[in-house]
A and B are shown apart, each in its own frame.
Chain A
Amino acid sequence: MKLRTALLGAAATLVMAPAAFAERGADGNVKVLYSQAVSILNPYLSSGTKDVEAGSLVLEPLAGFNEKGEVIPRLVTEVPSVENGGISEDLTTITWKLIPGLLWSDGTAVTADDAVFTWQYCTHPEGGCAQAARYEGVANVEAVDPQTVKVTFAAAKPNPFTAFVGATSPILQKAQFEACVGAAAPTCTDPNSKPVGTGPFMVTDFKVNDVVEYAANPNYRDPAKPAFATLTLKGGGDAAGAARAVMETGEFDYAWNTQINPELQAQMEAGGKGVFVNAFGTLVERIEMNMTDPSADLPEGERSTAKHPHPILSDLNVRKALSMAIDRQLLVDIGYGAAGRATCNLVPAPEIYASPNTDCIAQDMEGAKALLDGAGWTDSDGDGIRDKDGKKFTLLYQTSVNPVRQDFQALIKGWWNELGVEVELKTVDGGVFFGGDPGSPDTFQKFYADVEMYANNFDGTDPEPYLAQYTCDKAPRPETQWQGENINRFCDPAYDELVKQLSATRDPAERGALAIRMNEMLTKDSYVIVPLVDRGRLSAHSNTLGGVVLNTWDTELWNASDWFRVK
C-alpha cells in the first residue's frame, strides 16, 4: 500500500509537471486543513508547528531544506560552502548573497538590512523570541552591501545553517517590524497577523485560531508561480475529521498531519478522493526510564531527584529486559501503519548520524525473563509478580492523552505483565504533561512515575543540541524549577565528555561517528531511553492537487508555490 501510494504520487507529479508552468493564479483556490488552528503568523512569537507553517507561506528564510534534508537556496543565489568561499575556512563566518531584484510583497526591495534587523529582533533580551536557539552562537550579523549578509559566529560553527535557514528563522521586513522590537514585540498585532513577506502568498484575512486567507503574491520572484490565486487555510477539529474532509468528502485539497490508525487509513483511502503521503523525519516515540526514585514516600523536593537512585530501574539488566519484552513492529502495525517504523535509535536520521543498531526489533520474551531471573527478580511468593528483597516489581507508566498512546500503554502493559511485572497506567492531559508548570505533579519533566512515554525530535538536520540534552547538569530538579531536558536524569561523565567533544568536532564523518556513539550510549548500552517507533509525518491531499512533496525537515508547505490543480 505504501509503495503504491508513493508510486502513484510520483507518477502524478511527473505526468502533470508541465501543468505547473502555467500562469500565476490560473488554478483558482486551494483549501488546506490543519487540525490545529493557526494563532499567529509570526514564527518568532510562537514556535507551534501550525503557526510556523502557516507563516512559511508568507515569510521565507534565506535558505531552506528539501525533502532529503539538504540545504536549498530560497532568497539567495546559492548555498554558501567552504568550497565556494561562502563559509570561511575557520568556520566562523557564513556569507549569503541575496537574489538581485528581490521584492517584498508590498513592492519594496529586500535588502541585507532586513536580515540584520531580523537577527536584532529575535535576539533582543525582552522580545521573548521563540526561535532564539536558531541564533545561538551568532556574534554578529552585518550587511556588507545591500545584497550581502555576513553572519559571524562567536566560535567555529560546524553547522552554520541555523540562522536564516528553515521556516523557523525567516527574514522579517524591517520597515514593518521596526517599531516592534523588544517589549513591544507581542503588542504589534497587525504585523504579527499580517506580515509582509517574500513567499508565494500574502495574507488577505486572518481570523485568529480559525482561518487564514491568502492571495498570490504579485511580486513573487517566479512570475509563473504560484498556480493558485488564493489559498484558504482552515484550522480546528481532529486528525480523523481532517483526513475525512480530504479523503472521503473531498471538501479540502490538503490535510496536515492526519495521524490516524492504519485501519482508518485504509478505510479513508477506499473513499478514493485523495491519497496519503508520508515521510520520515527525526520524531521518535520512546519510553524514558526514570533513573531516580519517584516514590511518594520521599519528601517533596527529593522525589525524582539524583539523591535517590531508582530502586528497580537502576539495574541495567532490568531496563534491558523491559525493552526486550516489547514487540515494536506490532506497535507500528497497530498504531501507525505506513507512517511509522520500528526503531532502536534516538537519532533515526539523517543517515550519517543514525546508528545501524537493530538489536531491539525482535521481541525476546524468554531472554527477558532470563535476564530478570539473573538480576535476582524472581516470583518468590507465587503471586505472578516478581520481587526481590521483599520489594515488588511494580511500575507506574505514564503518558499524555492520545488514543494511540493509550493502545501502546495497554499492549506494553500486557507484555510486561507476561514478564511478571505489575504495571499501573496513568494518563495526563497533554496541556499539563508538556506544560512544565513546576506546581503540577504531572509534568513530564517532574517525572513522578517510573517510566513515561512521549515523542521528541530535533529541529533541522543536526542532532548536536539534541544529544547535548542528556548531560548531568540538565536534569530537571527543584533548583532549576523542574526545568531541564535530561528527563530521565541520566548521568555519565563519559557522556558529558563526548558532548564537549562533539561541539568541538568539525569533520562531518567524525561528527557522525560521535553522534552514533552517543546515541548508542543512551539506548543500546544503557537502555535509559527505549525508542519504540520512528514516527513519520502522514498528510493527505486530494487527487486533484498536484505537486505535493512531503518534507519533514522544513515546513510541510515548503513547496506550495509549485502546487497546481490536476485537470
Chain B
Amino acid sequence: MTDAPIPAPAVAVVDKPRNQWRDVWDQFRTHKGAMAGMIVFVSLIAFVTLGPLVWTKDPTFVNPDAVQMFKSRNMPPSWASPLGTDQLGRDMLARMMAGGQVSIAVGLVAMLLSIFLGTTVGVLAGYFRRLDGPLMRLTDLFLALPLLPLLLVMVMLFRDSLAGVFGAEAGTFLLIVSAIGVTSWMQAARIVRGEVLALKEREFVLAARSIGTPPRRMVLRHILPNVVSPIMVAATLGIASAIITESALSFLGLGFPPDFPTWGRLLFDGVEYMQLYPERVMWPGLAISLTVLSVNYIGDGLRDALDPRIRGR
C-alpha cells in the first residue's frame, strides 16, 4: 500500500479534513453513560435556572401571618408544594431550585479554579525540575495550613472589600468560590505532578524533545492530554466536595446570608428532621448525588472521547 506512488485518481472526492473536535463529539455520543449523564446534567441546570420562571414562589418567603404560617409548616408533598414545606412553611421546591443555582455554580466554578491551579502547579513542578522544589513546598504549606482559621482570616480581610466592589451577593460568591478553590488544589497538584514525572521520561516525550519542541508546546500538546484522566477524577470529586464545603462555610456564618438556601445547607438542616420528615434530606441528597454522578459520567465519556487510541475503535 505504501508503495503506491500516487493516489488513484478515482479517489477524487477527498473527504473534508475532519475536525478533531467533531471526532470527539462523535465518539462522545456513542458513550451511553456519558449521554445519560449529559441529559441529567442539562435537566438539572434547566431545573434550577428555568424552574424558578415557572414555579415563581419565593424560596425565602415566610408567611407573616402567624396562624397561616403555623398551618403551612412541615407539609408533606402536595399540589401546592410538590416537595412539601420546611419547618417555617417555606416551599421546598422553590428552595431546591434556588439552592441548586448556587450549589451548581459554586461547585463548578470552585472545581474549575481548583483544577486549574492544581494542574498548573502540578505540570510546572513535574516538568521543570527547578520549579519542583519551591512549588511542592508551597503545596506542603497549603496542605498543612488549618482550613478554618485560614477561611476566617480570608473572610475577615476580603468580605467587605469584595462586597464593596462587586455587590453583596457577587462578592460573597467570589469569596466562597476562591476560598474553596484556593484551599483544595493541592491534591490535584500532587497527582498531576506524579504523573508528569513519569510521563516526561516516556519515549514519545523524548522523541518530541529531540526534534526541538519548545516547552510550551510540549506541555500543552504532549503532557497535558496524557494526564486528563486523573484530572477528570479530581474534577468530579472536586464538585462534590465544593458543594459540601460551601454548606460547611455557611453554617460557620462565612457563606451566604442564613435564609439563602443551598443544597448543602438544606441537607444539613434536614438531618435534624431526618426521622420525622425523611424527604427533607432526600431531595438535597439526591440532587447533589445526581449532579456528581452525571458529571462523573460526562467525565468518563469525555476521557474516552479525548483518547485517540479509543476513538479509532
Residues of A within 8 A of B (CB): 240, 260-261, 263-264, 267, 296, 327, 329-330, 333-334, 363, 365, 400-401, 403, 406-407, 409-411, 413-415, 417-418, 424-429, 432-433, 439-442
B251: chain A residues within 8 A (beta carbon):
401
B152→A432 contact, CB < 8 A: yes
B272 within 8 Å of A by Cβ? yes
A409→B258 contact, CB < 8 A: yes
Told that A440-B156, A442-B253 touch, could you supply 14 new A-B pairs with CB distance under 8 A? A260-B272, A261-B87, A263-B273, A264-B276, A329-B66, A401-B252, A401-B258, A410-B60, A410-B90, A410-B259, A411-B88, A414-B62, A425-B259, A426-B258
Report the bound CA distance from A363 to B261 in whole Å.
28
A387 CB to nearest B CB, Å: 20
A418 CB to nearest B CB, Å: 4
B174 CB to nearest A CB, Å: 17
Report the bound CA distance from A311 to B131 in whole Å.
56
B170 within 8 Å of A by Cβ? no
A428: chain B residues within 8 A (beta carbon):
253
B160: chain A residues within 8 A (beta carbon):
296, 441
B70→A429 contact, CB < 8 A: no
Report the bound CA distance from A417 to B62 in whole Å.
10
B272→A240 contact, CB < 8 A: yes
Report the bound CA distance from A409 to B252 in whole Å.
16
Residues 255-310 of B contacting A (Cβ, < 8 Å): 257-259, 269, 272-273, 275-276
Report the bound CA distance from A415 to B64 in whole Å.
5
A264→B259 contact, CB < 8 A: no
Map CB proximity to A onto B87-102 as digits: 1 under 8 Å, 0 otherwise. 1101000000000000
B46 within 8 Å of A by Cβ? no
Q: Which of B64, B70, B160, B273 has the most CB of A within 10 A?
A: B64
For A403, give its contact among B60, B152, B168, B272 (CB under 8 Å): B272
Residues 104-119 of B contacting A (Cβ, < 8 Å): none
B87: chain A residues within 8 A (beta carbon):
261, 263, 334, 407
B235 CB to nearest A CB, Å: 30
For B257, give its contact among A263, A425, A433, A441 (CB under 8 Å): A425
Residues of B within 8 A of A (CB): 60-64, 66, 69-70, 73-74, 87-88, 90, 152, 156, 160, 164, 168, 251-254, 257-259, 269, 272-273, 275-276
Top 8 A-B residue pairs of the complex, sorted by shortest distance between their CB atoms: A414-B62, A418-B64, A427-B253, A406-B258, A330-B66, A427-B258, A425-B257, A327-B66
Report the bound CA distance from A260 to B168 in whole Å.
32
> Can you list 28 contacts pairing A with B, beta carbon distance less than 8 Å?
A261-B87, A261-B272, A263-B87, A263-B276, A264-B272, A296-B164, A333-B70, A363-B66, A401-B251, A401-B252, A403-B272, A406-B258, A409-B259, A410-B62, A410-B88, A414-B61, A424-B168, A425-B258, A425-B259, A426-B257, A427-B257, A427-B258, A428-B253, A429-B152, A432-B152, A439-B156, A441-B160, A442-B156
For A410, give its contact among B156, B254, B258 (CB under 8 Å): B258
A425: chain B residues within 8 A (beta carbon):
257-259
A417→B64 contact, CB < 8 A: yes
Closest to A363 in B: B66
B61: chain A residues within 8 A (beta carbon):
414
Closest to B277 in A: A263
B252: chain A residues within 8 A (beta carbon):
401, 429
Asked, given contacts A263-B276, A411-B88, whether A365 binds B64 with beta carbons under 8 Å apart, the answer is yes
A509 CB to nearest B CB, Å: 38
B206 CB to nearest A CB, Å: 54
B64: chain A residues within 8 A (beta carbon):
365, 414-415, 417-418
Report the bound CA distance from A429 to B250 in whole Å.
9
B167 CB to nearest A CB, Å: 12
Report the bound CA distance from A567 to B66 in whole Å.
46
B25 CB to nearest A CB, Å: 46
Majority-rule SS of B interface residues: loop
Asked, given contacts A263-B276, A429-B152, whether A413 binds B66 with beta carbons under 8 Å apart, the answer is no
Q: Which of B62, B70, B87, B160 has the most CB of A within 10 A?
A: B62
A432: chain B residues within 8 A (beta carbon):
152, 253
A543 CB to nearest B CB, Å: 20
B117 CB to nearest A CB, Å: 26
For A429, give its contact among B73, B168, B254 (CB under 8 Å): B254
Q: Which of A267, A427, A442 has the most CB of B within 10 A?
A: A427
A296 CB to nearest B CB, Å: 7
A429: chain B residues within 8 A (beta carbon):
152, 252-254
A406 CB to nearest B CB, Å: 4
Report the bound CA distance from A440 to B149 in whole Å.
13
A331 CB to nearest B CB, Å: 10
A244 CB to nearest B CB, Å: 9
A364 CB to nearest B CB, Å: 12
For B70, give its contact among A296, A330, A441 (CB under 8 Å): A330
A240: chain B residues within 8 A (beta carbon):
272
Closest to B63 in A: A414
A413→B269 contact, CB < 8 A: no
Closest to A244 in B: B275
Closest to A417 in B: B64
Report the bound CA distance from A406 to B64 in whole Å.
16
A71 CB to nearest B CB, Å: 40
A417: chain B residues within 8 A (beta carbon):
64
A379 CB to nearest B CB, Å: 16
Report the bound CA distance from A427 to B256 in whole Å.
9
Report the bound CA distance from A327 to B64 in whole Å.
9
Report the bound CA distance from A406 to B258 in whole Å.
6
A400→B156 contact, CB < 8 A: no
B259: chain A residues within 8 A (beta carbon):
406, 409-410, 413, 425
Asked, given contacts A330-B66, A410-B60, A427-B253, whether A267 binds B88 with beta carbons under 8 Å apart, the answer is no
B66: chain A residues within 8 A (beta carbon):
327, 329-330, 363
Closest to A407 in B: B88
A365: chain B residues within 8 A (beta carbon):
64
A409: chain B residues within 8 A (beta carbon):
258-259
Report the bound CA distance from A403 to B257 in whole Å.
13
A21 CB to nearest B CB, Å: 40
A424→B257 contact, CB < 8 A: yes
Report the bound CA distance from A535 to B276 in whole Å.
25
B164: chain A residues within 8 A (beta carbon):
296
B65 CB to nearest A CB, Å: 8
B88: chain A residues within 8 A (beta carbon):
334, 407, 410-411
Closest to A335 in B: B87
Report the bound CA distance from A441 to B153 in whole Å.
12
B103 CB to nearest A CB, Å: 18
B70: chain A residues within 8 A (beta carbon):
330, 333
Closest to A325 in B: B64
Closest to A409 in B: B258
B156: chain A residues within 8 A (beta carbon):
439-442
B257: chain A residues within 8 A (beta carbon):
424-427
A141 CB to nearest B CB, Å: 43
